[in-house]
Amino acid sequence: MSPRRRIIIVLASVGGGSVLSYFIYKLKRGGGELTTQDKHTLLTNIVFSVAIILGVGFTFLWNKKKDL
């Protein structure tokens, strides 16, 4: 699988999960506006998921280059 295809799959999964989380928060609020805390929680989830995915991905690439 090419690196470009992997990146597209990862971005689609993180984006899809983020959209689902947004709608779950909207449902929790009865369709009303999200609070500031809800927005911060969603942003934190997105940032950490991207950071973890990038960290694991770069670790695998680094190990692959070292032939481990």
Number of domains in the chain: 1
pLDDT at residue 66, rounded to an integer: 66
Q: Containing domain of residue 45, as a range?
A: 3-65
Answer positive or negative: Cα dihedral of 22, 24, 25, 27: positive
pLDDT at residue 27, rounded to an integer: 92
pLDDT at residue 68, rounded to an integer: 53
What residues have CB less than 8 Å from 31, skipping those under 6 apart? none
* pLDDT tens for the 68 residues of the chain, in order: 677 887 788 888 888 988 998 899 889 888 888 899 989 999 998 889 888 888 887 787 777 666 65
